[in-house]
Structure 1
Amino acid sequence: MPKILFVCHGNICRSPMAEFVMKKMVAELQDGAGNDAAGLECAESRAAEKNCADFEIASAATSTEEIGNPVYPPARRMLERHGIDCRGKTARQMTLRDYEYYDYIVLMDRNNLRNLRWILPPAIYERECAGGGKVSLLMDWTGNSRDVADPWYTGDFEATWNDVNEGCRAMLTSLRNGQA
């Protein structure tokens, strides 16, 4: 069972969007409904059962600024517009225990990577900065290594929605194909 933690600065916009988008994509696979937007389907075979196994998906922040706050209203409205309910989600900060527990720590931008230095021990942080560990940028999964657009500064929640969907779709495809 892959365990994925999406991480952004405050855990009120990008990382909860990624958390709930990925949960929806995985649920659609498990229901056999497929997802035209993701281009994914679950076949009724033993191999497909493995590919559609349960995932554990969550999100967190690198900062303490928004702890306890709900998903930012424009981000929540964007999710709702696409049939995704994020009620009950509140911001929390990532911990070292999260790093140890999750298989994939998926960051929204390079600033999030720099901020991990306050969460991870120096040796682990250095190793993750060198690459090849469990930390990645979401857009790395698309083959186009760049930051997810930050709507807190741009106000462009549509661009963030598009980035999150593209990144989650690519990550899920890679995980299902055993390429991660």
Structure 2
Amino acid sequence: MVRVLFVCLGNICRSPMAEAVMRDLLIKEGLDGKIEVDSAGTGDWHVGEPPHKGTQMKLEEYKIDYSFIRARQLNRSDLNHFHYVIAMDEKNLNDIGVIAGKNPTAYIARLMDFVGDESIVDVPDPYFTGNFDLTYELVKEGSGQLLNFIRKREKI
């Protein structure tokens, strides 16, 4: 089983959106038994809460289930449990690096690293921008490209 963890700041907007979008994609591709998906935040402000209302509305628009998602905080053991730890932005990436320390076993990258558009390196945080449409589009594209990367790398 390949395990993927999406990480953002509070785990209520971007990373739970990515978790739900990827899980939906895996089900549609018949890979939900081969790849496990989760999400976490670098901060602890929202632990136990469901996704932000804006994220919920966007996922409902595309009929993507998010009912199982509750915010949690990233911890060091995640860096050993998950094969891929995917940050939403540069700050999240740096925070993951601090938690991981030297020689992490997980493959750590930003979601937009898989898209190949050098003009967009971070998924903007809709908690601050209010733009859940853009976040969804970037998460959808990034998740699809990440899945392609994992399929090739893991030969699944």
Same fold (TM over 0.5): yes
Q: Deviations over 1:49-84 (max 9, x none)?
A: xx7752110000011111111100110110011001
Structure 1 residue 149, shift from structure 2 partner: 1.9
What SS does structure 2 have at the residue aligned with 1:148? coil
Query: 5 Å matches for 1:1-180?
Result: 1-30=1-30, 54-121=34-101, 123-124=102-103, 134-145=107-118, 146-178=121-153
| Cα RMSD after superposing both structures | 2.1
Q: Give me the whole-angstrom Cα distance separating, in 2, the residues matched to 1:153 and 1:52.
A: 32
Amino acid in the other structure paired with 2:145: A
TM-score by length of 2: 0.89
Task: Check conservation: 1:4, 1:105, Cα contact below 8 A.
Answer: yes
Amino acid in the other structure paired with 1:27: I
Q: Give me the whole-angstrom Cα distance separating, in 2, the residues matched to 1:78 and 1:14.
A: 11
- In structure 2, list runs of 5 or more residues that go unmatched: none
Q: Give me the whole-angstrom Cα distance separating, in 2, the residues matched to 1:94 and 1:166.
A: 24
What SS does structure 2 have at the residue aligned with 1:147? coil
- In structure 1, list runs of 5 or more residues that go unmatched: 31-50
Q: What percentage of aligned pairs have identical amino acids?
A: 35
Q: Give me the whole-angstrom Cα distance separating, in 2, the residues matched to 1:63 and 1:118.
A: 13
Q: Give me the whole-angstrom Cα distance separating, in 2, the residues matched to 1:88 and 1:56.
A: 14
- For this pair of structures, how many residues does the alignment match? 153
TM-score by length of 1: 0.78
Task: Check conservation: 1:8, 1:14, Cα contact below 8 A.
Answer: yes
